Amino acid sequence: MRMTEGEARTRFGASRVARLATTGADGRPHLVPVTFALDGDTVATAIDHKPKSTQDLRRLHNIREHPSVCLLADHYAEDWSRLWWARADGDARIVTDPGDCAAPSGWLAAKYAQYQEQPPTGPVILVTIDRWTGWQASPA
């Protein structure tokens, strides 16, 4: 059963992890799990201290080439009547100026204790959401 935009936004925002889908110049999709924070219709995710092979990540290259992105949060349960997903489509931009990163980093710290202890040091990705959609197996 289809969710309202408001329900999709609420379920998405309450989720602990989402998947960020980007597309490169070659047209190939790239999907990664991300921590995120939601402020109205803006999603923030940051390149943080978790081990990575490089800070020069494919998701950043893809966003520079094609800013249209999709984020998906979902809930799986063996009881399929409890399944749901919420999707956020929008345009992303990469923020590197420390002053511009402060507020989104604060949103992330408010959601994740790990960021209170060690704030993100890399760029922040801000996604302006223009479409919320979702589905649930049965009414909440």
Q: Per residue in 19-70, pLDDT tens?
A: 999 999 899 999 999 999 999 999 999 997 654 555 678 999 999 999 999 9
Weakest mean pLDDT among 6-10, 23-27, 118-122: 118-122
Provide the pLDDT for residue 78: 96
Question: Residue 140 pLDDT > 70, yes or no?
Answer: no
From the list 138, 139, 111, 134, the residue with the least C-alpha distance to 6 is 134
Tell me the CATH number at 105.
Answer: 2.30.110.10
Q: How many domains does the chain have?
A: 1
Fill in the DSSP letter of residue 16.
S
